[in-house]
Amino acid sequence: MGKGHTTTEGSTVKSSPATTPDPARAQGGLQGKRLSLVFGTLLLAMAVSSLSETIAATALPTIVGDLGGVEAMQWVTTTYILATTVTMPIYGKMGDVVGRKRLLMGCLALYAAGKAVCGLTPNMGFLIMGRLVSGLGGGGLIILSQASLADIIPPRRLGTFMGAMGSTFTACRVVGPLLGGWFVEVTGWRWIFWFTVPLALAALAGLWRFLPRDAADRKTHPDYAGMVSLAAAVCSLVLALSWGGNRFAWDSWQVVGLLCVAVASAGCLVAAERRAASPVMPLGLFRDRNFVLTSAVGFLINIGLMGAVSYLPTYFQIVDRMSPEAAGLMCVPMSVGSLVASTSTGMLASKTGRYRWMPVAMCAVCAAGFGLMATMAPGTPVWQTVAILLTVGCGFGLGLQILTLIVQNEFPHSMVGTATAANSLFRQVGSTVGASLVGSLFTARLVADVADRLPPADNVSLSSITPSFVDGLSGPVQAAVAQGYSEALVPLFAYFVPLCLAGLVLALFIRQKPLATTIDHGAAGK
């Protein structure tokens, strides 16, 4: 803060002159009604992107049944994850270079077009294409929304708004399966995609009307070599993590080959960034203590978040014999906990300027929550499950959005988008690791546990257990499957406890720095 081009740890980051920003954005940021309108549209943009990560999960069996092509089902999810993860850092850098307003509007248009294709799709091929297009747009929505907020609000006031954004992000992820199940039962699965189109277009219109013109550096040339290397590294890593233990064994040549490509591409990225005038992933970021620590903490916590959210709705349907709607409602306490905690800590950070304790508290409460989740079993009272999920949600809400605030307060404003995107990239990879790790371990444990409980004559296909599949089994077999499902999944939640504790130790070393009270849109840092 107030250090010009120099960041912490003595690292120096180049920043180029920017054009003059909209006069409506003074150094103190937007105020009043216009701020409310801009924030509402940015919140809507983030919400539609976050929903897309989980809303189709409960509907995939129905979609595949209607369209055929079960062998391509995994690509429906993988394609979106790939597109969003690969484009995140690119959008972050491009926003710093060309300005965020038009780029964010373009992302919303791409997102809406992809969703329209998904809703109208006649087959699996078009569905995957639609998911690709919507992912190419969705990769920029969260990053550019957060960075655009930093364009109009100084860090000292930003905590309250980041709290609301953080709670919205987590809540939409958790509520997504509930909405997906409701659409399947009431309106048909195509409305899972159609209903987000008018929301995205409404956000686009709001941003066009209310978001101020942003600063941009017209003299900087894109770092094409860095973009290609980064895309190759991220794409290879995400595919390896998504396929490992599921489609292919971890020691298969496919997974090992992808990991080797990821490592080689990362090496090429480092070499390219050393020579680039305006790198897409500045190496100076990794010389900043708080950036490294917040990225590591976000990576570890998101492993647990996505690992839990991905399987809880199906767990409630199979183990507790709930309907899709009821299973989705069981996840609501996690959203409520996140909403309350995220909003509260955001307001406290803005009021007091003190935030260092929040990531520490997040890791501690999440560790306790996952430990309690590991005690769940068939017959656990509903109130007890609700209390456990409320605890976990509160844990996430205590600090996830604060990690972004810390990063945005750390660097010159000309690097806000780049730093935010790089930080979010590690979280996204953590989410991929969580879903993949739990999936592979759970599948192996499920086959072993349930197979021991059933006679060979039952001929149960253990590798493809779904709620509808269990409904067709006899009562004793249903009970055996439910018990095996619980014993295969629930103990895995205990694995997240040491990850959260490791995050806690790292969070203790985050440095408390004063939150900037003004926004410098010029060449200097904050």
Between 382-408 and 357-373, two packed helices, what is the crossing angle to 10 degrees? 150
Q: Does residue 4 sit within a domain?
A: no
Residue 411, pLDDT > 90, answer no
Average pLDDT in the 427-455 region? 73
Residue 218: what pLDDT?
53
Tally helices (H) and strands (E) across the chain: 20, 0
Average pLDDT in the 390-419 region? 87
Cα–Cα distance for residue pair 501/302, rounded to 1 Å:
13
Answer for the pair 393, 419: CB distance below 8 angstroms, yes or no. no
Residue 66: what pLDDT?
79
Q: Does residue 177 sit within a domain?
A: yes
Residue 201: what pLDDT?
92
Same domain, 388 and 412: yes
Tens digit of pLDDT for each residue in 501-510?
Answer: 999 999 999 9
The count of structural domains within the chain is: 2
Residue 397, pLDDT > 60, answer yes
Between 155-186 and 332-352, two packed helices, what is the crossing angle to 10 degrees? 170
Helices (H), 244-381: 253-275, 289-309, 312-319, 324-330, 332-352, 357-373
Query: What is the residue range of 254's domain?
Result: 231-279
340 DSSP β-pair partners: none
Answer for the pair 319, 485: CB distance below 8 angstroms, yes or no. yes
Same domain, 247 and 158: no
Cα–Cα distance for residue pair 215/207, rounded to 1 Å:
15
Same domain, 198 and 243: no
Given pLDDT bands bounded at 50, 70 and 90, which one contains residue 12?
Answer: very low
Q: Does residue 76 sit within a domain?
A: yes
205's enclosing H/E stretch is helix 196-210
**Who's near 462: CB < 8 A, 6+ residues apart?**
446, 447, 450, 451
Same domain, 175 and 97: yes
Answer for the pair 100, 147: CB distance below 8 angstroms, yes or no. yes
Same domain, 27 and 99: yes
Task: Decide: residue 359, CB within 10 A, 0-12 exposed, 13-18 middle, 19+ buried.
Answer: buried
Positive or negative, the CA dihedral 41, 47, 52, 58 is negative
Q: Does residue 97 sit within a domain?
A: yes
Task: Count Cα neighbours of 425 within 13 Å in the Cβ-side half-sphere.
Answer: 27
Same domain, 263 and 194: no
User: Does the global pTM surpass 0.75?
Assistant: yes
Same domain, 90 and 235: no
Task: Decide: residue 456, CB within 10 A, 0-12 exposed, 13-18 middle, 19+ buried.
Answer: exposed
Average pLDDT in the 448-457 region? 58
Residue 522: what pLDDT?
47
Task: Decide: residue 464, CB within 10 A, 0-12 exposed, 13-18 middle, 19+ buried.
Answer: exposed
Task: Decide: residue 71, CB within 10 A, 0-12 exposed, 13-18 middle, 19+ buried.
Answer: exposed
Given pLDDT bands bounded at 50, 70 and 90, which one contains residue 313?
Answer: confident
Q: Does residue 217 sit within a domain?
A: yes
Answer for the pair 424, 145: CB distance below 8 angstroms, yes or no. no
Same domain, 147 and 54: yes
Residue 265, pLDDT > 90, answer yes
Same domain, 135 and 242: no
Q: For residue 12, give the DSSP letter.
A: B
248 DSSP β-pair partners: 244
Q: How far is CA 287 from CA 6, 13, 292, in A?
A: 11, 10, 8
Strand runs (DSSP E) across 65-158, as ranges?
none
Same domain, 195 and 246: no
Q: How far is CA 484 from the centre of its chain?
A: 30
Cα–Cα distance for residue pair 334/394, rounded to 1 Å:
7
Quickly tell me which residue has 């189709």 as its tokens. Answer: 56
Query: Which value, in Å, is the radius of gyration of the alpha carbons in the chain?
Result: 23
Of the three residues 247, 279, 311, the one that is the final residue of a domain is: 279
144's enclosing H/E stretch is helix 124-152
Phi, psi dihedrals of residue 12, rounded to the nearest 5°: -115, 130
Q: Does residue 100 sit within a domain?
A: yes
Residue 358: what pLDDT?
94
List the structure tokens of 285: 């970021």
360: CATH? 1.20.1250.20
Nearest CA among 85, 89, 61 for reference residue 74: 61
Same domain, 466 and 439: yes
Residue 400: what pLDDT?
85
Same domain, 273 and 297: no
Between 382-408 and 332-352, two packed helices, what is the crossing angle to 10 degrees? 40
428 DSSP β-pair partners: none
